[in-house]
Structures are given as structure tokens and as C-alpha cells.
Amino acid sequence: MSADAPVALITGSAHRLGAQTATTLHQRGWNVVIHYRSREQQATELVESFNRDRPDSACAIQADLSVTNQIYSLADDAIGCWDRLDALVNNASVFYPHPTESATGEDWDTIMHTNLRAPFFLLQACLPALRENGGSVVNMIDIYSEKPLADHPLYCAGKAGLASLTRSWAKDLAPDVRVNGVSPGAILWPEGDGKMDRDQQQAILDKTPLKRTGEPDDIARTIAFLICDAPFITGQIVSVDGGRSLNM
């Protein structure tokens, strides 16, 4: 019964890796809360497809993660969907180049608020419910958190901070809540302002031992493993990168 199923909140899950993660957890019997900021149609369509497969097993909530009050409202509404929360996936992220010479205060706020500040305060707001159910948290890190990408200092700093939070939380919240991270390599190429040309993409693949991109399912299955199948794993950040981190 959906009312008795464990519940996961996945931020930024209307498309790309977040949507695949939600799909994978839903297929494993979880109820899912789809968070979105602006992709209402995609979120609605995803929820409708889940609920056709299993009635009352998915809902969508809009929130701008750069606004503190909306973070708290997202947590309250997500927990209120089924009066429980068993997993939080901090997937939402902002990625675009911002060289030091030209980066602005707005760039700082946009990137740091979404990539680092929001996960902190969202977990804080969700913590009582997660503790009640022996919950699990997975943070979406990045291989660039350890070996930075040129002209992305704020993005890399934010992801490095999230990696540090992952390890800190794993110590501070144990034994009630497990906290881990996943660091993708070349899975889906960036969109929008962070888009890479073919030469940039090929340069990355040339440094990837498996010589190809991964699939969204590679990330989603790893997240599902950490949440569902790894009760003795906490404080770990798993690189899912085809070996790219060996050659950076």
C-alpha cells in the first residue's frame, strides 16, 4: 500500500538525473516527492505517470531553493504528503562558468545558495522525520569537488563544501541517519550556460578510461543502493565516472 511505503524527497527531480532517481526509487516501491523550481509541466507529467502505475505514490512540490522560507515549506509539505520521510536526495544544482575575474555577488549567491546552503537547511528541516524512520541522505557531489574544473571556482567550492557536509553529517547524525554522496563524471552533458562544445566533450572522454559517457541509470542505481541496500555504509562519496577521476 502506498500509505505504508517509505518516502523519498528528491530535489530538482523533474528532469535529468533527478527524474531517473525518482523513477528508480518508485520502481522499488517507494513513494516519491518530486521537487521542482520552474519545470512544472515535466514534474506534473512525471507524477501522473507514477500515479498511473501505483495510485497515490507520487506528488510534486514547487520551491525556489535560494529562498530560505521556501526550503522550510518544501520540507513541511514533503513530510506532510504521507506523514513521514525516509530519504532525502539533494540533487538540485546550478552549473555554469564564472571566472574569478568576472564573477559577481549574484553568481556567488545563485550557486552557493542552491548547491550548498539549500542542502544544509533542507536537511535541518527534514531531520526530525528522518531520525524517526532511521532515514538516509544522499548528496549529489561532483568529481570536480576534488580536482576543480577551470573557470568554475564557485561551483567547485560549493560541491567541495557539500562533500565536507556529507562527511560531517555522517558523524554528527549517526546512528540515526546515514549520509553518503555520489560524484558523477560524464553522464549527461551540461545544458544552458554551462553547455560544452564537442571538443570539450571529447577531451573529457579521452581522459575517461571507459571511453564513453555513463547513463542516468548508473547514478540512479547507485543512489538507490546507498539508500536501500547499504545499511552499514555512511560518510562515503562514490565516484560514478568511468574512471575519469584517475586521470584528471
Burial of 6 (0-12, 13-18, 19+ CB in 10 A): buried
Q: How far is CA 196 from CA 135, 204, 241, in A?
A: 37, 10, 17
Which amino acid makes up residue 72? Answer: Y
- Neighbouring C-beta atoms of residue 146, cutoff 10 Å: 16
- Neighbouring C-beta atoms of residue 47, cutoff 10 Å: 21
Q: Which one of the listed residues 72, 96, 144, 155 is annotated catalytic?
A: 155
Instruction: Answer whether 39's CB lies under 8 Å from 119's CB.
Output: no
Find, among 107, 37, 103, the residue nearest to 67 by Cα. Answer: 37
Q: How far apart are CA 166 and CA 29, in angstroms?
A: 26
Q: Known catalytic residue: 96?
A: no
Residue with the three cell numbers 524512520: 133
Q: How far apart are CA 136 and CA 234, in angstroms?
A: 9
Instruction: Answer whether 34's CB lies under 8 Å from 61's CB.
Output: yes
- Give the catalytic positions in this structure: 155
